Amino acid sequence: RKFLELVGVDLEDFLETHGATGLFAQVNSLVGIRNAIAHGHPTATTTFADVDNYIVSVEQIANLVDLAVAESVQVICDMTTLPW
């Protein structure tokens, strides 16, 4: 988030604007499950379907972060089109 702040991106606002605030909850859920598994919690499990869903969520966040940074760079550099 610090890098995004350096280029003028408020990720939470950007995700909200694009109707994607639920992605944070999905990724946080993944982190919680990963931590539980890593620390040997006996009931911590996940399924292949869960992992597939998490991959989709992370890809969606990555694409939105890419777009947010591109839009910010466009404004900073006074460009008429997105830089990538």
Tell me the pLDDT tens digit for each residue of 36-76: 999 999 999 889 998 898 899 999 999 999 999 999 999 99
Q: What is the mean pLDDT of the chain?
A: 92
DSSP code per residue over 14-62: HHHHTT-THHHHHHHHHHHHHHHHHTT-TT----HHHHHHHHHHHHHHH
